[in-house]
Amino acid sequence: MDAPTPAGPVARPGEPAPWCGQCGEDLTEADHARCVRAAPLEPPRYCAHCRRRMVVQVIPGTWTATCSRHGSVEQPTWG
């Protein structure tokens, strides 16, 4: 199984996703260990493709993150 990435599931396959969904910094530059640890309890706040702050809505079993440019993704919190 692949290690979790802080970009999170918002990143769309096949498109460059250089930004961390948790902290919004460049994935290749900063240390994102804390972001990886936080990811199970934090929805992503930044779009992995363009670094825009996303509109995030959390309800008891799901969360939705919307980038004004790259669209919306809804995820169940648990499998």
Partner 1 sequence: MTAQATGTDILDVAREQVLERGVPLTHEQVVAVLRTDDDRLEDLLALAHEVRMRYQGPDVEVEGIVSLKTGGCPEDCHFCSQSGQFTSPVRSVWLNIPQLVRAAEQTAATGASEFCIVAAVRGPDERLMAQMREGVAAIKAAVDIEVAASLGMLTQEQVDDLADMGVHRYNHNLEAGRSYFPQVVTTHSFDERLDTCRMVKESGMELCCGGLVGMGETIEQRAELAVQLAELEPHEVPLNFLNPRPGTPFGDLEPMGSSDALRTIAAFRLALPRTILRYAGGRELTLGDLGTRDGLLGGINAVIVGNYLTTLGRDPKEDLALLDELQMPIKALNETL
Binding footprint of partner 1 on the chain (CB under 8 A): 23-24, 40-43, 45-46, 53-63, 77-78
Nearer residue to partner 1 within complex by CB, 15 or 74: 74
Residue closer to partner 1, measured from CB, 8 or 14: 8
**How many residues does this entry show for the chain?**
79
The distance of closest approach from Cβ of residue 36 to partner 1 in the complex, given in angstroms and rounded to an integer, is 15
Rounded to a whole number of angstroms, the minimum distance from the CB of residue 14 to partner 1 is 26
Q: Please report, as a single letter, which amino acid is at residue 18.
A: P
Phi, psi of 19 (to 5 degrees): -110, 145
Q: What is the dihedral of CA 74, 79, 12, 16, to 10 degrees?
A: 130
